Amino acid sequence: MLATISGIFAVALYLLGTWFQAQGLFQERNNRPLVLSCGGLALLAHLFNMIEVINTPAGYNFGFFKIATLFSFAISLLVLLSSLKKPLENLFLFIFPLAVISILCSLFVPSSYVPHSEYSSGLALHIVLAILATSIITIGAVQAVLMAYENQQLKQKHGYRLIKHMPPLQTMESLLFEIVWVGIFLLSGVIVTGILFTDDFLGQHLSHKTFLSISSWIVFAILLWGRHFAGWRGSTAIRWTLVGFLFLVLAYFGSKFVLELILERT
């Protein structure tokens, strides 16, 4: 009951925050205090909902949609905190609806996942780092998409009403590489804790996930090398960021989607 009530409350606040942000964007109103207030309250309700749907009487439920709601919570929290210092409010137009969908799916979409009652502290750390790494890199991917859109609109001289509310491309690019640095640091922790605390991390059962995770790390490492030594920027940085993000999403959601929703296995 608490999961449903807190979840619906969070959904309503996220939608309200999205509405205020869209209204401020297209009608040129200063709705920033309203957006941040709705986002903060939504995150609080989301936290209660997340705890209830994951920490069940049968054990920890890390099913596909339960992970998705934890994932969206981490993204929303990180962007909200970052927006206190940087003009990132427009990202809420993408992130808040994502949180709404994840909450509704975690509450109402059935899953074949069977909760496990025993997780070691090392494995729990691995899971948390994986979610944080994926969340950070997702923010980077959204940032890259917005950069590509802004760059296209500036070249074609279209969409001035929308892009004038975005930060300058140079600021967005600087933020993108800051995100990539944090993301690869967390991803390194994921790989290390996976090797140390996950049974058969390099074996056949997790081979695809391991390969995709390491591939994502390599892509971001090459991007940072290219940035430092070759001055990569603009479309090159965007492409490498999106490729690394794709590998990571396939690693942490692709296998769970196939096993739980297609093959109906846990």
Domain ranges within the chain, ordered by starting residue: 119-262
pLDDT of 54 over the 60 cut: yes
pLDDT of 91 over the 90 cut: no
pLDDT of 103 over the 90 cut: yes
Work out the pLDDT band at 204, boundaries 50, 70, 90: very low
Q: List the single range of 40-44, 92-96, 210-214 with lowest mean pLDDT.
A: 210-214
pLDDT value of position 143 = 83
What are the CA-CA distances from residue 229 to residues 147, 184, 224 (Å)? 22, 18, 9
pLDDT value of position 11 = 97
pLDDT tens, 206-225?
567 788 889 999 999 999 99
> Residue 264: exposed, middle, or buried by beta-carbon count in 10 A (0-12, 13-18, 19+)?
exposed
pLDDT value of position 126 = 84
Give the pLDDT mean for 61-75.
85
* Contact indicator for 42, 103 with CB cutoff of 8 Å: no
